[in-house]
């Protein structure tokens, strides 16, 4: 009979990187038929950050990751798995952005791969990291959500270009025997029946590079905004209600509700349905826009850097994105407070 203690996965640290250049609503007013008033009222977004032309998803991911590793207080050599969630990888589709980030960090001969789960990518990675650690296969996993979303945005399409921004966030997930530090639960799901709600049609096997791709702008993100909006509110609310109920936790016991930052109206509707106060709901969409897989770790980093996130604080993550994919997670912050 084995006498070894169970191993749990813990969320040890957070880091993020935000590119320097800012694209304001006033800038967008000069580019497409829109107004600051419309954007603020319909989305809550005031500005978003855009990566430089020679700054790639891997550059942003590596910067966020370096910070997360430093804050975890471990060496680069201690990392035994590198995972990156992105739908705007440096290359479609190899090498993976995780491999490029590993090289930029000086991490070699370590398993590394990307996943594609759009805005749900970071919470999906959390579930993968938890499984790897609890099975005893890995001890310190670097998870990164990084997007250069501006590389797939059509800046003549007012229905999408006002929404998205660039950035990256990263975390170190480590093995622990201390149950009070453990990630409590993660629910992740998908339904490909709604695949056409959010699509970047090219490049891929369906539309390899061609003149048609360029002429029809198939390399740009397309979104059924209003349909996605309605389903997002419904799914995000149900997802959180379920994870809280299964774990016997009430929404008032959550100090930090960190939803995917797509639209203030979605966040508000979900927060209200769950009877969350403004203090509980983390809001960064106004200054970053929607940064897809980077949105949740960038938001966690914000509350960490402002000193709001303390060691042991319970976090509730909730996300929704292309695929369609969705996921929620309940976990304590196991790192040191800032
Ligand atoms: O991250 C993954 C998940 N993504 C999301 O969750 C995004 C979900 N969707 C949304 O956030 C919202 O649907 C949008 C912000 C994209 C759009 O807001 P909406 O309230 O759903 O507007 P709508 O698409 O129903 O459009 C209303 C009107 C339309 O005009 P008509 O047909 O009523 O004359 C649009 O053409 O607003 C027009 N419109 C704009 N007007 C000024 C659409 N975009 C703009 C714009 N500026 N940028």
Pick the range with the lowest mean pLDDT from 30-34, 112-116, 228-232, 317-321. 228-232
* pLDDT of 301: 98
- Residue 292 is classified by DSSP as G
Residues 308 and 203 both lie in one domain: yes
Return the ligand 1 atom nearest residue 34 CA.
47
Indicate if 49 belongs to the active site: no
Per-residue pLDDT, averaged over 128-142, amounts to 98
Ligand 1 centroid–CA 140 distance in Å is 41
Is the pLDDT at 31 greater than 70? The verdict is yes
In the set 49, 140, 260, 301, the catalytic residue is: 260
CA 229, 281, 16, 42 dihedral sign is positive
* Residues having CB within 6 Å of any atom of ligand 1: 34, 38, 42-43, 119, 158-159, 162, 225-226, 228-229, 232, 262-263, 266, 290, 320-321
Residue nearest to atom 14 of ligand 1 (CA): 225
Is the pLDDT at 1 greater than 60? The verdict is no
- 69 found inside a domain: yes
Residue nearest to atom 26 of ligand 1 (CA): 226
Indicate if 161 belongs to the active site: no
Is the pLDDT at 218 greater than 80? The verdict is yes
Residues 206 and 163 both lie in one domain: no
Per-residue pLDDT, averaged over 134-138, amounts to 97
**Three-point CA angle 325, 187, 176, nearest 5°:** 125
Separation CA 233–CA 241 (nearest Å):
12
Task: Give the chain's length.
Answer: 338
Is the pLDDT at 333 greater than 60? The verdict is yes
Name every residue whose Cβ is closer than 8 Å to that of residue 189 and which is 6 or more positions away in sequence: 239, 325, 326, 327
How many domains does the chain fold into?
A: 2
Q: Which residue has the higher pLDDT, 92 or 24?
A: 24
Last residue of a domain, one of 152, 179, 206: 179
Identify the domain containing residue 124 by its residue range: 8-179
Model's pTM, two decimal places? 0.97
- 338 found inside a domain: no
Q: Which residue has the higher pLDDT, 214 or 2?
A: 214
Residues 128 and 15 both lie in one domain: yes
Residues 124 and 243 both lie in one domain: no
Indicate if 108 belongs to the active site: no
Last residue of a domain, one of 179, 205, 222: 179
- 321 found inside a domain: yes
Residues 194 and 312 both lie in one domain: yes
Residues 219 and 298 both lie in one domain: yes
Per-residue pLDDT, averaged over 79-100, amounts to 96
* pLDDT of 93: 77
Residues 193 and 328 both lie in one domain: yes
């Amino acid at each position: 009979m084995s006498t070894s203690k169970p191993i749990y996965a813990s969320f040890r640290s957070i880091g993020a990187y935000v590119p320097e250049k800012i694209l304001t609503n006033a800038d967008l007013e000069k580019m497409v038929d829109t107004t600051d008033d419309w954007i603020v009222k319909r989305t809550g977004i005031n500005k978003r950050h855009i990566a430089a032309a020679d700054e790639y998803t891997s550059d942003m991911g590596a910067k966020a990751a370096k910070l997360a590793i430093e804050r975890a207080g471990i060496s680069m050599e201690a990392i035994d798995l590198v995972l990156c969630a992105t739908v705007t990888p440096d290359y479609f589709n190899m090498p993976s952005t995780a491999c490029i980030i590993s090289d930029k960090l000086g991490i070699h001969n370590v398993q590394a791969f990307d996943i594609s789960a759009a805005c749900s990518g970071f919470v999906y990675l959390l579930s993968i990291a938890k499984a790897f650690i609890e099975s005893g296969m890995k001890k310190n996993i670097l998870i990164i959500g990084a997007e250069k979303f501006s590389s797939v945005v059509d800046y003549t399409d007012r229905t999408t270009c006002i929404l998205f921004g660039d950035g990256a966030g990263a975390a170190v997930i480590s093995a622990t025997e201390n149950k009070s530090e453990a990630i409590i639960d993660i629910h992740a799901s998908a339904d490909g029946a709604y695949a056409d709600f959010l699509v970047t049609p090219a490049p891929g096997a369906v539309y390899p590079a061609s003149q048609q791709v360029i002429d029809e702008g198939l390399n740009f993100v397309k979104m059924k905004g209003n349909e996605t909006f309605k389903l997002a509110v419904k799914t995000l609310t149900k997802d959180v209600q379920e994870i809280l109920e299964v774990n016997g936790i009430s929404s008032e016991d959550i100090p930090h509700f960190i939803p995917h930052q797509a639209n203030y109206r979605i966040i508000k509707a979900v927060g209200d349905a769950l009877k969350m106060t403004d203090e509980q709901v983390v809001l960064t969409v106004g200054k970053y826009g929607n940064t897809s897989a980077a949105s949740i770790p960038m938001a966690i980093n914000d509350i960490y850097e402002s000193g709001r996130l303390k060691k042991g604080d319970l976090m509730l993550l909730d996300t929704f994105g292309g695929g369609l994919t969705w996921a929620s997670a309940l976990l304590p912050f196991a790192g040191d407070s800032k």
